[in-house]
Amino acid sequence: PAPNIRPVIRLLDEAAINRIAAGEVVERPASAVKELVENALDAGARRIAVDYAAGGKVLIRVTDDGCGMGPDDLPLAVARHATSKIDGSDLLNIRSFGFRGEALASLGSVGRLSITSRPRGEEGHRLVVEGGRMGAVAPCSAAPGTVIELRDLFYATPARLKFLRSDRSEASAIAEVVRRLAMAEPLVGFVVTEVVEGEPARVILRLDPENGDFFDALQRRLTRLLGADFTANALRVDVEREGLHLSGYAALPTYSRGTSVQQFLFVNGRPVQDRLLYGALRVAYFDVLSRDRHPAAVLNLSCDPERVDVNVHPAKSEVRFREPEAARSLIITGLRTVLAQGGTRASSTLGT
Ligand code: ADP
Ligand code: MG
């Protein structure tokens, strides 16, 4: 621009602001599914159903049996920066998946969003938001819990639509997101169904809620997700040091893979992509694997939420530890101890 032309600064309207935020939160149908399933988990759901059509481009529907929302909650749920999960005074103490209050506002700005919800013992209500415009809250019949339906994702942002992959690859990304969340939540049941021409056509994934002892439940869930071969070769990990707790299953070196596809790491139950943690996993197996092999493991690192910052990226898949060395070292020494003990009773408490 020429230096003599002075541009005008304007405050963007709500719809534009939401659409910009949506760009960060909702990259593709699978990211919408992730946000909706996380909301269902935050609502205490025991069963979650995900239906999609055309790789999620035409329809995404997440049904849960969680706490539900009342009629006054619905407009707030789709308002930007409105959340029931934190009160704003304590960003260091986040115990839920959500806290930004952005997902539903974003989804309502990039698709046709409909929320039907009914708290136990109350009436059901529905709210529709299309292209950022909110309708009126109307009573309707509904099962206890919440159904969130997102149709025509990105219809209002054709540029985004163009960058999506084939229905098949978007569909497999959706299944992957659910599988990933299901690994950390073995007590919750998940069903993923493909819808064709408005009718349920194919069950893609069915995971019944597991019960009993957490490790047994997790083991059964992982058998369903990764195969009996994984669990037959996996050692239980349950190590703790200085308030950091590493739990899950790590496969014997003999079960190693040619790629890192069977590495699933979680921090306080949240799936993470974290170079530090994946690096520590590699180091833990360094002496027992050849260079071209990769360990297989499903591990959750849990600690007081104050020790890890989850407010790093809108998609919330990155975290920052206050003491990264402690996290790294627990993974390395914890796994080495478990691998050295070789299996039978692989749970232990490490000294400091
Ligand atoms: P966040 O999850 O960060 O709070 P969202 O935009 O995803 O933001 O959701 C906004 C609010 O709507 C949540 O804080 C919650 O109170 C409510 N909500 C969303 N989904 C559900 C659900 N499935 N069941 C009950 N309440 C929900
Ligand atoms: Mg949310």
pLDDT of the residue at 348? 43
Is pLDDT above 90 for 244? yes
Tell me, which fold does domain 14-207 have in CATH?
Heat Shock Protein 90 (3.30.565)
How remote is the CA of residue 167 from the centroid of ligand 1, in Å? 27
How remote is the CA of residue 105 from the centroid of ligand 1, in Å? 10
d(CA 173, CA 77): 26
Average pLDDT of the chain, as a whole number: 91
pLDDT in tens, 312-331: 877 777 889 989 999 999 99
Q: How many CB atoms lie within 10 A of CB 314?
A: 18
Structure-token pair, residue 276: 């530090």
Residue to substitute in 18, 39, 85 for testing ligand 1 pocket (most ligand atoms within 8 angstroms of CB): 39
Q: Which residues form the pocket of ligand 1, taking CB atoms under 6 Å from any ligand atom?
A: 35, 39-40, 43, 64, 66-69, 77, 83-85, 98-105, 146
pLDDT in tens, 129-164: 998 889 999 999 999 999 999 999 998 778 888 899
Q: How many CB atoms lie within 10 A of CB 349?
A: 10
Query: What's 214-341's CATH class?
Result: alpha beta
Give 1's contacts (C-beta < 8 A, 6+ positions apart).
7
Q: Are strands 47-53 and 59-64 parallel, antiparallel or unpaired?
A: antiparallel
**Domain residue ranges of the chain, discontinuous segments joined by +:** 14-207, 214-341
For 180, phi then psi, to 5°, come to -65, -50
Measuring from atom 23 of ligand 1, which residue has the nearest CA?
Answer: 40
| Closest ligand 1 atom number to CA of residue 145 | 24
pLDDT in tens, 66-122: 999 999 999 999 998 889 988 877 777 888 888 888 899 999 999 999 999 999 999
pLDDT of the residue at 345? 42
pLDDT of the residue at 235? 96
Asked if residues 49 and 63 have their Cβ atoms less than 8 Å apart, the reply is yes
Is pLDDT above 70 for 5? yes
Lowest mean pLDDT among 6-10, 178-182, 297-301: 6-10
How remote is the CA of residue 105 from the centroid of ligand 2, in Å? 10
Average pLDDT over residues 179-189: 97
pLDDT of the residue at 90? 75
The closest ligand to the CA of 94 turns out to be: 1
Neighbours of ion ligand 2 (CB under 5 A): 39, 98, 103
| Position 352 confidence tier, pLDDT thresholds 50, 70, 90 | very low
Q: At which residue do the structure tokens 């997102």 appear?
A: 150
Q: What percent of the chain has pLDDT over 70?
A: 97
Measuring from atom 14 of ligand 1, which residue has the nearest CA?
Answer: 83
Give 273's contacts (C-beta < 8 A, 6+ positions apart).
317, 318
Measuring from atom 12 of ligand 1, which residue has the nearest CA?
Answer: 77
Average pLDDT over residues 48-61: 98
Is pLDDT above 50 for 349? no
The closest ligand to the CA of 79 turns out to be: 1
Average pLDDT over residues 61-66: 98
Give 299's contacts (C-beta < 8 A, 6+ positions apart).
237, 246, 247, 248, 249, 250, 264, 265, 266, 281, 331
ipTM: 0.99
The closest ligand to the CA of 78 turns out to be: 1
The closest ligand to the CA of 62 turns out to be: 1
Is pLDDT above 60 for 14? yes
Measuring from atom 20 of ligand 1, which residue has the nearest CA?
Answer: 39
pLDDT of the residue at 87? 81
